[in-house]
Amino acid sequence: MRLERDVRRYSDEVMAGGDGADARSRQGSRAALEAAEANERVLDALRAQCQGVDAAMLGALVPNLHKAALLGEPYARACYLARGPGLDAAGLLDHPERLSAYRGTARTLIERGIADGDWRVLDQLRGAYEPGADSLLAAAVGDDAAQRYRYLKLFRLGAPSQPGASDEDLATAAARLGPTQLAEAEAWATRTFNQNFHGRRIDADGPLWDPCVFPSE
């Protein structure tokens, strides 16, 4: 395994350094060794968690995730919106109806996520409404200039310095709207930020990393 080879190699480099070796080189090898060992521990823990998982359990992943999302589990909801049946791409050959299920429930999950003030859901929507987006979520929501501006503005309110929600992005989105549409979108974003998100910043629930990385506790 490559990770195991890296651990052995970095360990050999540190042990062979000796007093005459360059200190900076030894320090780099030691840091790399510590990182590789940490990664190996994480992988060992994941292997332990996955023991006993069979094909039937893996095949039930998407339906169970969908069910949990509909029941209101926030991490499942964000993950399902982000990946949907794509979590088991091979399974789509046997279960093409999963695409219809995704399309049929995506908007409901979006509405619930916004109602719950879930930044993870909003983060997925920002990407889905980007021009040229080709994700499953993008296909489900379609091209809607007003909605794109609403979500960008809402994200901007929660992340004043977030580069991904810059004033340039907003200006580009605003250029596609008329004065009335723009005013309505601004009002919606402000109202939703205050009422549903309670004025909370986007990092209030932790960083917006991979939505399918669930908390361990």
Q: Digits of tens for pLDDT over the chain (217 positions)?
A: 544 555 455 555 555 554 545 655 666 666 666 666 766 665 565 556 556 655 666 667 888 899 999 999 999 999 999 998 888 888 888 889 999 999 999 999 999 999 999 999 999 998 899 888 999 999 999 999 999 999 999 999 988 665 554 778 889 999 999 999 999 999 999 999 999 999 998 877 667 667 887 665 5
The answer as to whether 151 is a domain residue is: yes
The answer as to whether 37 is a domain residue is: yes
Range of the domain at 28: 2-17+24-50
The answer as to whether 72 is a domain residue is: no
The answer as to whether 172 is a domain residue is: yes
The answer as to whether 128 is a domain residue is: no
The answer as to whether 174 is a domain residue is: yes
The answer as to whether 64 is a domain residue is: no
| d(C-alpha 78, C-alpha 81), whole Å | 5
The answer as to whether 215 is a domain residue is: no
Q: How many domains does the chain have?
A: 2
Helices vs strands, H then E, count in the chain: 11, 0
